[in-house]
Amino acid sequence: MTPKAEQVPVLRADAARNRARVLQAAREQLAAGDDSLQLNTIARLAGVGVGTVYRHFPNRLALMEALSAERFRELVAEARAAADDEDALAGLHRLLRFTLGRALEDTGFASVLESASDTEPETAALKAELDRAVAQLLDRALLTGAVRRDLGPGDVRRLLCGIEHALRSGDYDEARRELYLDVLLEGLRPPR
Amino acid sequence: MTPKAEQVPVLRADAARNRARVLQAAREQLAAGDDSLQLNTIARLAGVGVGTVYRHFPNRLALMEALSAERFRELVAEARAAADDEDALAGLHRLLRFTLGRALEDTGFASVLESASDTEPETAALKAELDRAVAQLLDRALLTGAVRRDLGPGDVRRLLCGIEHALRSGDYDEARRELYLDVLLEGLRPPR
Amino acid sequence: MTPKAEQVPVLRADAARNRARVLQAAREQLAAGDDSLQLNTIARLAGVGVGTVYRHFPNRLALMEALSAERFRELVAEARAAADDEDALAGLHRLLRFTLGRALEDTGFASVLESASDTEPETAALKAELDRAVAQLLDRALLTGAVRRDLGPGDVRRLLCGIEHALRSGDYDEARRELYLDVLLEGLRPPR
Amino acid sequence: MTPKAEQVPVLRADAARNRARVLQAAREQLAAGDDSLQLNTIARLAGVGVGTVYRHFPNRLALMEALSAERFRELVAEARAAADDEDALAGLHRLLRFTLGRALEDTGFASVLESASDTEPETAALKAELDRAVAQLLDRALLTGAVRRDLGPGDVRRLLCGIEHALRSGDYDEARRELYLDVLLEGLRPPR
DNA sequence: CATGAATGAGTCTTCATTCAT
DNA sequence: CATGAATGAAGACTCATTCAT
């Protein structure tokens, strides 16, 4: 199996540049706290025609998923590293803390992460890949009795997004972030 | 203090009837799965002019909070009962399960419950009342070492809404509901 | 039977004024040879918000039909007069000439006149009324053997619009108008 | 001078193939009931770049006319045959019935047939050729007093398109087609 | 107080045409 | 010659809010 078959039909140089610009503009919008992702606005910010945005991303969701793709790749790498960790529980901690950070930084990513239905096939694939890695991690953690056996990777994903949601709905600081994360981690352990 | 210092100016009979109609229409919308709460639509459904809706509720949020008031009262009662329970932990369980059910039934209520800033003073008052009761409950539970000491009633409220969010973002059934609730309850206990 | 039950819920004075303005603006557009009937443009010309236009007329077609209503009333009157004419054939001539004139003046009216499917119930009603009057006229003309028996009022309507179409697709003058009309009238007579 | 007096520059093999593909795709669109003839869409269906379509056909109309050329050639042949018919009136009948069939099958052709202004010189030439043949036919029919003398070939063309329009605007069946055609043919005869 | 018509900024989306590759 | 990405003007439509009646 090749590491990754090109799923995209290879873009022309200028098309790729525009696509990147659009993604960049979208990222900046999100970072500025505007998660409406209006394709018109993005186009303007990207210095690109609206039509160009629509060509690359037929709607908000497609754009959001594209933005998430990169994050997902990072996450998959992290999850794999965690799955290779000697101490599975420690690996899980690290992975969840990392993911929480990303989700808090980027609402769009958080919503794609928790969503049950994806538009882009690539998103679905990445999510599946992530879930596989997490499943392995959970399996290993199970051996040492470090986590409940009735939770799958999808549950973990959603529960983490729940924590993220809880944080976001209040005024959260570093301490509360650790606190809620800890509540989750304790909750994932087998009940006493 | 009179048994009930009316904070709300007594309404004329017809005004009260209209207000009730609007609330009813809004509830039906939400029940029908439409949480956009467009004041125009509500007005039409309530058989009332838009202006009337605006008079009673200046915006979506105010309407949502009004809808939640009743739920809050119910919840406060439940929380007090729980605080009086012999077994504080059992009371907490009951309270959280009850709350989760309400939040899952009613998105609007869930969002008011988790929100940090309220528009209507009444909402703020009710939420404070709820938090007081929960604080008592937590205090009692602390005595038996049943919960962490670093969590306040606001945290519990938000964490529960996090769980609700996690459930809602997937296809949840009765079992998963219990499962996530259990994860939360375990997570609230003091770390081992 | 009252001559005409109010089918419209009686408009408020200002609403009626706006509706009239919109219709007027639309008429001017058509007269100016622009039959695109863009609701935005009409609104601007009428000095009225777009929303107002949309409230009164949900789409181009509804507007066009409303514009046609008045013409239809005129036409019905004409048709009834024709049906009462001593000389049925002469009445038919007059009616068709009159109708052709209106249709050539107003593309919108022509297209509503020939259309088989109407959006507004009022249009359908008026068209039916017209057809009834024409049917009477044809019946009377039949008695003197002045027209074919295999043509109904709908056929006559459409054939006339066909003539109108033929004229419009070339450069027509008064003479050609009479010529084509004559071709139609001769064609309506029973074959020799 | 190169051995190529063609008015149409000989196309390179691949260019010719592309042109044919575009025409084919356009025909299929029309057959599928979509008469918007969007050059982008046609290009996609033809498996060809938009630019290529534009090179061959600067706009919708040019494409439509090109599509009609073949039909015109057929029609000219038919008209000549009709002009040679012993019975001029019978020939005219046949020709009109044939033309009506084609026009009903193909909106694009109908509109080119009735149009007074053509974009492509080839279309103008073909239409002139057709009109010449019809003029001969009419002349011969005149000798036997079978048609009015005040109608030229252009009138006949347009009147036929009028009939086509009348049919198309209703639900037409075989019978109605014959009926309207008969109305036209009777109408073309000299008035009694 | 109630009404609901009016408003119009704002958003989404399409498509004919151009032009760099 | 062919390609198809890019363009962006233009049009359709919505909806929160105001205010004359």
The second-level CATH assignment, the architecture, of A63-188 is Orthogonal Bundle (1.10)
CA distances from A95 to A137, A191, C169 (A): 10, 22, 73
Query: For residue A34, what pLDDT band results from cuts at 50, 70 and 90?
Result: confident
C184/D179 CB distance under 8 A? no
Q: Which amino acid is at B122?
A: E
End-to-end CA gap in chain D: 60
For residue D148, give the chain C residue with the closest CA. Answer: C183
End-to-end CA gap in chain C: 44
**Residue D67 · residue D57 · CB < 8 Å:** no
**pLDDT beyond 60 at C43:** yes
Say which nucleotide is closest to residue C15, CA to C1' distance.
E5
Distance A11 CA to F5 C1' (A): 10
**Residue A81 · residue A5 · CB < 8 Å:** no
- The candidate with the shortest Cα–Cα distance to A166, out of A114, A126, A89, A91, is A114
Average pLDDT across chain C, whole number: 91
Across the range A73-88, mean pLDDT stands at 93
Please give the Cα distance from B81 to B95 (Å, whole number): 9
Instruction: List the subunits that have 3+ CB pairs under 8 angstroms with C.
Output: D
- Over residues C88-132, the pLDDT tens digits come to 999 999 999 999 999 999 888 999 999 998 888 899 999 999 999
- Tell me which residue has tokens 């809706």: B53
- CATH fold, domain B11-57, is Arc Repressor Mutant, subunit A (1.10.10)
Count how many Cα atoms sit within 13 Å of the Cα of residue B59 in the half-sphere of its side chain.
4
Please give the Cα distance from D26 to C138 (Å, whole number): 44
Among left, alpha and beta (phi > 0; psi -120 to 50; other), residue D37 is left
In our burial notation (b when 16+ CB lie closer than 10 A, e otherwise), range C163-183 reads: bbbbbbbbebeeebbebbbeb
| Residue length of chain D | 192
pLDDT of B159 = 98
pLDDT of B14 = 84
Taking CB atoms and an 8 Å cutoff, what residues of chain A touch B169?
A: 114-116, 158, 161
**pLDDT beyond 70 at D61:** yes
Which bases of chain E come closer than 7 Å to a protein CB?
1-21
Query: For residue D140, what pLDDT band results from cuts at 50, 70 and 90?
Result: very high
**Residue B40 · residue B60 · CB < 8 Å:** no
Residue among A116, A176, A191 whose CB faces B186 most closely: A191
Please give the Cα distance from B41 to B25 (Å, whole number): 9
SS3 state at B49? coil
Is domain D60-188 given the CATH code 3.40.47.10 in the classification? no
Question: Computed from CA positions of residues B84, B90, B93, B94, in that sequence, does the dihedral angle turn out positive or negative?
Answer: negative
Please give the Cα distance from D150 to D127 (Å, whole number): 20
In CATH, what number does D13-56 get? 1.10.10
Taking CB atoms and an 8 Å cutoff, what residues of chain A touch B166?
A: 114, 158-159, 161-162, 165
Please give the Cα distance from B106 to B111 (Å, whole number): 9
**Residue D137 · residue D93 · CB < 8 Å:** no
A176/B155 CB distance under 8 A? yes
Here the tokens at position C20 are 């009239």
Q: How many CB atoms lie within 10 A of CB C40?
A: 10
- Tell me which residue has tokens 């690539």: A122
Taking CB atoms and an 8 Å cutoff, what residues of chain D touch C185?
A: 187
Supply the DSSP string of C77-118, one letter for each residue.
HHHHHHHH-SSHHHHHHHHHHHHHHHHHH-HHHHHHHH-S--
**Residue A62 · residue A54 · CB < 8 Å:** no
Say which nucleotide is closest to residue C36, CA to C1' distance.
F11
pLDDT of A31 = 85
List of A residues 28-67 with CB within 7 A of strand F: 47-52, 54-56
Q: Cα torsion for C135, C137, C142, C145, to the nearest 10°?
A: -150
The second-level CATH assignment, the architecture, of C10-57 is Orthogonal Bundle (1.10)
Distance A33 CA to F18 C1' (A): 30
Please give the Cα distance from D141 to D92 (Å, whole number): 8
Q: What is the largest CA-CA distance in chain C?
A: 59
Distance A102 CA to F1 C1' (A): 50
Residue nearest to nucleotide E18 (CA to C1'): D51
**Residue A89 · residue A146 · CB < 8 Å:** yes
Average pLDDT across chain A, whole number: 91
Alpha helices (H) along chain A: 13-31, 39-46, 50-56, 60-84, 88-105, 107-114, 121-143, 153-168, 174-188
Here the tokens at position D122 are 């080839």
Asked whether residue B50, judged by its CB, lies under 7 Å from any atom of the DNA or RNA strand F, the reply is yes
**pLDDT beyond 60 at D1:** no
Instruction: List the subunits that have 3+ CB pairs under 8 angstroms with B.
Output: A
C187/D184 CB distance under 8 A? yes
Among left, alpha and beta (phi > 0; psi -120 to 50; other), residue C37 is left
**pLDDT beyond 60 at D106:** yes
pLDDT of B9 = 58
pLDDT of B3 = 43
Report CA D154 to chain centroid distance, whole Å: 13
Here the tokens at position C141 are 């003309």
Interface test with A, best of B89, B164, B165 (most A CBs within 10 A): B165
For residue A150, give the chain B residue with the closest CA. Answer: B179
Please give the Cα distance from A136 to A187 (Å, whole number): 19
Average pLDDT across chain B, whole number: 91
Please give the Cα distance from C27 to B30 (Å, whole number): 44
Say which nucleotide is closest to residue A21, CA to C1' distance.
F6
Please give the Cα distance from B31 to B167 (Å, whole number): 18
- Over residues B28-42, the pLDDT tens digits come to 998 888 888 899 999
Residue among A114, A116, A170 whose CB faces B116 most closely: A170
Please give the Cα distance from A129 to A133 (Å, whole number): 6
Here the tokens at position D166 are 């009348």
Residues 6+ apart with CB under 8 A from B162: A162, A163, A164, A165, A166, A180
Q: What is the DSSP letter of C33?
A: T
**pLDDT beyond 70 at C7:** no
Supply the DSSP string of D84-128, one letter for each residue.
H-SSHHHHHHHHHHHHHHHHHH-HHHHHHHH-S--SSHHHHHHHH
Residues 6+ apart with CB under 8 A from A79: A95, A130, A133, A134, A137
Instruction: List the subunits that have 3+ CB pairs under 8 angstroms with A.
Output: B
**pLDDT beyond 80 at B72:** yes
**pLDDT beyond 60 at B8:** no
Q: Please give the CATH superfamily to which domain B65-188 belongs.
A: Tetracycline Repressor, domain 2 (1.10.357.10)
Asked whether residue B51, judged by its CB, lies under 7 Å from any atom of the DNA or RNA strand F, the reply is yes
**Residue A109 · residue A102 · CB < 8 Å:** yes
- Over residues D24-60, the pLDDT tens digits come to 999 999 888 888 889 999 999 999 999 999 999 998 8
End-to-end CA gap in chain A: 43
In our burial notation (b when 16+ CB lie closer than 10 A, e otherwise), range D166-183 reads: bbbbbebeeebbebbbeb
B162/A158 CB distance under 8 A? no
Please give the Cα distance from B80 to D79 (Å, whole number): 97
For residue C160, give the chain D residue with the closest CA. Answer: D166
- How close does chain D come to C117, measured CA to CA in Å? 9
**Residue A43 · residue A49 · CB < 8 Å:** yes
- Over residues A94-142, the pLDDT tens digits come to 999 999 999 999 888 999 999 988 888 899 999 999 999 999 999 999 9
Please give the Cα distance from D57 to D34 (Å, whole number): 18
End-to-end CA gap in chain B: 47
Q: What is the DSSP letter of B11?
A: P
Please give the Cα distance from A45 to B33 (Å, whole number): 35
pLDDT of A97 = 97
**pLDDT beyond 60 at D185:** yes
- Over residues A137-153, the pLDDT tens digits come to 999 999 999 999 999 99
Residue nearest to nucleotide F20 (CA to C1'): C14
Q: Of A9-23, B18-32, C76-90, D178-192, which gets the smallest average pLDDT? A: A9-23
Please give the Cα distance from C120 to D87 (Å, whole number): 50
pLDDT of B4 = 44
**Residue B50 · residue B34 · CB < 8 Å:** no
Supply the DSSP string of A71-94, one letter for each residue.
HHHHHHHHHHHHHH-SSHHHHHHH
Q: Please state at what angle helix C121-143 crosses helix C60-84, rounded to 10 degrees.
A: 30
- The candidate with the shortest Cα–Cα distance to A11, out of A22, A24, A20, is A20
SS3 state at A33? coil
Distance C95 CA to F18 C1' (A): 50
C163/D162 CB distance under 8 A? yes
- Over residues C180-190, the pLDDT tens digits come to 999 999 999 99
Q: What is the DSSP letter of A3?
A: S
D159/C161 CB distance under 8 A? no
Percent of all residues in chain D with a pLDDT value above 70, rounded to a whole number: 94
Residue among A162, A183, A191 whose CB faces B165 most closely: A162
A158/B166 CB distance under 8 A? yes
Interface test with B, best of A107, A150, A158, A174 (most B CBs within 10 A): A158
**Residue A107 · residue A30 · CB < 8 Å:** yes
Residue nearest to nucleotide E21 (CA to C1'): A12
Q: What are phi and psi of D104, to 5 degrees?
A: -70, -30
- Tell me which residue has tokens 């459409």: C158
Interface test with A, best of B149, B177, B183 (most A CBs within 10 A): B183
Name the residue ranges covered by the structural domains of chain C: 10-57, 60-188
- Over residues B125-148, the pLDDT tens digits come to 999 999 999 999 999 999 999 999
